[in-house]
Amino acid sequence: MVLKSLDSRLDLKNFDLSELEAWLKELGEPGYRARQLFQAIYAQGQQDITAISTLPKSLRYMLTENAFISSFSPEEVLKSADGTVKFLFRLDDNKRIESVLIPQAGYYTLCVSTQVGCAQGCRFCLTGKMGFKRHLETAEIVNQILYARAHLPQPWPLRNIVFMGMGESLHNFQHTLKAIQIILHPLGLNFSHRRVTVSTVGLVPQMLKMSEAANISWAISLHAPDNQTRNFLVPVNKKYPLDALLEAMKRMPLPPRKRFTIEYVLLKEVNSTLKHAHALAKLLKNLPVKINLIPFNPHPGSEFQAPSWELVLQFQEVLQKYGYTVTIRQSKGADIGAACGQLDGQPQAA
């Protein structure tokens, strides 16, 4: 269903191309008009329907009577000492979300949100403490990207989109999928499928469904090598335990040369002993994975701490001896609350 704004006009960014074609066909317009409109919105960044010169004036008038093109402007922009930028967006219902622009070697990665809050309740994540407020519409997901792309601090390309912001993207399946279709489409944002990554805590049915619907990269938020520890850290594990999650990964049609990224937040005296490292290595045996270790990023009121750097390196070394590719995430933006697990949708002054 395409959502309407408060004045009953349709937000065109809530349509994927097929929906746009169907809607314009109902209005008596040929399919190529939808492609022209879609390209104007995304490839050209057009925000004013009346200025889309590829469309006849009569169609532009009809569209302005029935639809509009939404856009985002941040309530707050915070810049980290390391170059990371955090955008705080206030939505039409006054709820807030955040997205994070991360500088890398000559390009940017954007971490986008898919929900206000999150229903998964992971114990180490500040967003999870908010609880679930609502899903984002397709337009609200895509507008994060369009705003960031138009406001890059350096003349570097926006190269990667990662669905790792606020919320569990597969819980908001419909709007996440439509946003991905817009991001990947040659007439849309035209990102490579290798540059779009969906992160999930392991919603098994939705993982299988998404893997059939879209060719993307995957990050699995694992965080524990056994069910007891993972039940404590990631409550959804009680519904979809490790055996089910690993079986789903085996069934997902991963393209050649692609691997799952295993996200593993290291928590002192919880999941970061060398015993845990050996167990993790054995758990992931024969799966096409690379492992990303994330030393815990603290936030006010957290019950956890990060392990020592020495232990982090030892944990990495154990996994490498089993033959895994293992990186340690140098989390950026911690000084502005923009690092992994620190997003809470609140202005800094609050």
Domains recognised in the chain with CATH numbers: 10-68 (1.10.150.530), 76-336 (3.20.20.70)
How is 256-277 classified by DSSP, letter by letter? TT--EEEEEEE-TTTT-SHHHH
For residue 3, what pLDDT is reported? 41
| Helix, strand, coil percent content, the chain, rounded in steps of 5 | 35, 20, 45
For residue 339, what pLDDT is reported? 56
For residue 216, what pLDDT is reported? 96
pLDDT mean across residues, the chain: 92
For residue 264, what pLDDT is reported? 97
For residue 338, what pLDDT is reported? 57
Tell me the pLDDT tens digit for each residue of 247-290.
Answer: 999 999 888 889 999 999 999 999 999 999 999 999 999 999 99
- Which pTM was predicted? 0.93
For residue 342, what pLDDT is reported? 60
Calpha distance 298→304 (Å, rounded):
7
Sites in the chain below the pLDDT cut of 50: 1-6, 350
- Known catalytic residues are 98, 340
Specify the DSSP class assigned to residue 284. T
Residues near 244 by beta carbon (within 8 Å), at least 6 away in sequence: 204
3-state class of 322 per DSSP?
A: coil
Tell me the pLDDT tens digit for each residue of 122-135.
Answer: 999 888 888 999 99
